[in-house]
Every structure is written in C-alpha cells, then in structure tokens.
Amino acid sequence: MILQPADRMRRLPEQFFSALVRKANSYIAKGYDVINLGQGNPDLPTPQHIVESMREAVLDPLTHRYSPFSGLPELKEAIADWYKAEYNVDLDPASEVAILFGGKVGLVEISQCLLNKGDVCLVPDPGYPDYWSGVAMSGAEMVMMPLLRENGFLPDYSLLSQETLQRAKLMFLNYPNNPTAATASESFFRDTVEFAAKNGIVAAHDFAYGAIGFDGQKPVSFLQVPGAKEVGVEFYTMSKTYNMAGWRVGFALGNKDVISLINLIQDHYYVSLFPAIQRASITALRSSQDCVRQLVSTYESRRDVFVGGLRQLGWDCPAPKGSFFTWVPIPNGMGAVEFADYVLDQAHVVMAPGIGFGKSGEGYVRVGLLAPEERLREAVERLKQIKVY
C-alpha cells in the first residue's frame, strides 16, 4: 500500500530547528564540549513547593479519574484571581478562561477555530514558528508583518494593504517577544485594539514571557487595555514563569466566543489535563511569587554577563528588555545560517539562526540565556578566541 497523507500534512512547515539540534548533537557525539544557547527550554528546576504539591496530588486516587473536559473549575478560578492580582484584569473563570495542554497547543488551535481556506492570518516576522503550523493546517494564508529594529520590533499596521485587511481574520502578536526580546507598551496595545476592531480581526497575544521583564519594568498584558476582550485573547503558559515546561499546562484568556471555540475543539482532542498537574498549577498561582521574582533576577544577571561580554568584544548588542533571549546582530556580515554554523564549528557554541524565525530574522542570531553565568562567560571567551567580530 502506498500511503497518501492528507493535504494538511503536506502544508505543514519544515521544522527548521530540528536541523540545528542534529548539528549540535553531532558535535557532542564527537566529544566536544558544546555550550547550547540555541534552545528555548528553561534550564532551572520547577520550584520545590510546586513539585511537592504534585507529589501529594498524584497520591490522591481522585486525581486518577477524568476531570471535567474543560478543566478543574478551581484552576480557572486561580487563574482569574492571579490575573487580577498581577495585571488588574477581571476575568470570568467559567467563560473567559480555557485550560490548555501547553501554550503551544492553543496557538495552533486558534487558527483551526477561526480560519478557512482563503482567509489571511497576520504573522510577525520574525516570530515563533508554531504560529505557522496552525495556519497551514487551516488552509489559510499568512501575510508577514516585519519586525524591524528601527521600529522597536513592533509591526507597522499602516503597511498592510486594504486587500489584505479585507481577508484578514486573525493576527498573532508576542511581547515580550521571541525571538527579538522586545517589549510592547500599553499605547501600542491600544492602537492594536483599535486596529483589530476597525478591521474585524481577532488579536491573539502570546504572553508566554509575560513574567520576565528587566530593569524594574513589568511587561504589559494585552488584556489590560480597554476593549481588548472584545477583539482578542491572550495565551499564557506556566512553562517560563514557573519552570514547568515539561508539565504542559497553559491557558487562553479573553473573548468569550473565542474561548468557547477553543474549549469545543479541545473536547474533540482531549479528556482534560491530568488533575494532579492542575492541582500543582493552583499551588503555583496561589502561593508566594518570590520564586518568580528570583527567576527574573537570575535571567537579568545572565543578560548582563552575556551582553556585557559581547559589548567588550565590540559587538553592537542591545540589552533585551524581556524574555530569556538575546537577539544579537551578526557582527561580520555573514548570513545567519553561515554564522551559526561557523560559531558551532569553531567555538562549539550553539546559536539559533534568525532566518529560522522568518525572512526579517536574517542578520541576527537568537541566544538563549539558559545556561549558568560561568558558561555564558565561557561562550563569550570562545567567541573572542575565534575573532568573528
């Protein structure tokens, strides 16, 4: 039998970074000491009080049963209370909160909920590649919104054509941004709400790095802006805030109609998240947030070590305002893939080529601050030795 995959499988974008992983692993297999700064996987453990809550919940036989398909009401209440405390946003737990199997799932699902063939989705360039996956599966088209340094890595809505706006049904945004590490102001989000309302576009804000802001600045939630819930939703994940990447729990918040659609599609995919994980998530949200503040302080110290080191080498490297990434302009005119390959080969340091996040990422590499300070210093020293600047 010759298997014929469905058309949607052929439309899926190539996983660009799987090749990066293979390259890094090939050097590790040869015995090289590789410093992997190309990943987005938190390197620190989940705080102990959350782990202990999970352990206790696993021992309770009640968590071994199905929970409500849309998740535990008490987790939705904890999420709503946490958003009120952190961002002064009022949410109805029953109708404005959807529990997700990780934020990535929701970012793929929303395209399947809202887009048909012939529709347009506005996508940041550079941006998180999994936005592309959901659009591809829906059969819709992407129109890229360039994020340029001269515009603070914010999209310029005035550049979009009227024909594009007439067909656009969904727009992805992400601040603090992956990969550029830029942040957005409340003023920008006000403009976004006005733009989305005028053109009938659902705004989907990926707030995965919402807890990670530097220099005393707290990142702004899209939902803080008046009218945001009328035009869109925000996606949040426990992965970055609490180092719970492997636990796979996130949530979508905001517009009731969109939340209802997300819950509906998940009813067909899943039978809710393991109740023990939901209970541990409640513990994370309702306990002291000192662990989050300490985590942000750790990332800020790492940022200062790495960016300061590159600047001493003469690199033009802006200090990120948020996230745990640094968006580094390539100093010697090489292409992004060529440069990343050269650094891996000569210095055994992994950096993610910017082109993997979209055409506008050419000329940059993304560096994750996901290694101890001594390893970041070592990476800078290796770059100094190979003289790529």
Burial classification of residue 106, based on how many CB atoms lie within 10 Å of its CB (0-12 exposed, 13-18 middle, 19 or more buried): buried
Q: Return the structure tokens found at 382.
A: 């290796």
pLDDT higher than 80, residue 382: yes
> Which among 217, 138, 148 is positioned nearest to 176, based on CA atoms?
217
The answer to whether 254 and 224 are in contact (CB under 8 A) is no
Residues 127-162 have pLDDT tens digits of: 999 999 999 999 999 999 999 999 999 999 999 999
Instruction: Scan for tokens 């005028």, then name that residue.
Output: 198
H or E segment and range at residue 349: strand 349-350
Q: What is the pLDDT of residue 206?
A: 98
Instruction: Scan for tokens 């398909």, then name that residue.
Output: 69
To 5 degrees, how large is the angle CA 28–CA 32–CA 36? Answer: 60
Look at residue 322 and give its three-state secondary structure. Answer: strand
The one-letter code for the residue type at 256 is K
Q: What is the pLDDT of residue 266?
A: 93
Q: What is the pLDDT of residue 332?
A: 84
- C-alpha span between 111 and 206 (Å, rounded): 13
Q: What is the pLDDT of residue 389?
A: 63
Q: Which fold has domain 8-45+291-386?
A: Aspartate Aminotransferase, domain 1 (3.90.1150)
pLDDT higher than 70, residue 14: yes
CATH top-level class for 48-286?
alpha beta
- C-alpha span between 380 and 306 (Å, rounded): 7
- C-alpha span between 37 and 325 (Å, rounded): 9
Look at residue 386 and give its three-state secondary structure. Answer: helix
Q: What is the pLDDT of residue 36?
A: 95
Mean pLDDT rounded to a whole number for the chain? 95
In the chain, what percentage of residues exceed pLDDT 90?
A: 89
Supply the pTM of this predicted model: 0.95
Mean pLDDT of 173-186: 97
Burial classification of residue 299, based on how many CB atoms lie within 10 Å of its CB (0-12 exposed, 13-18 middle, 19 or more buried): buried
Q: What is the pLDDT of residue 371?
A: 96
The one-letter code for the residue type at 320 is P
Mean pLDDT of 82-101: 97
pLDDT higher than 90, residue 333: no
- C-alpha span between 310 and 170 (Å, rounded): 38
pLDDT higher than 90, residue 5: no
Instruction: Scan for tokens 């393991």, then name that residue.
Output: 274
CB neighbours of residue 9 within 10 Å: 10
Q: What is the pLDDT of residue 105?
A: 94
Residues 190-215 have pLDDT tens digits of: 999 999 999 999 999 999 999 999 99
Domains of the chain by residue range: 8-45+291-386, 48-286
The model's confidence at residue 10, banded by pLDDT at 50, 70 and 90, is confident
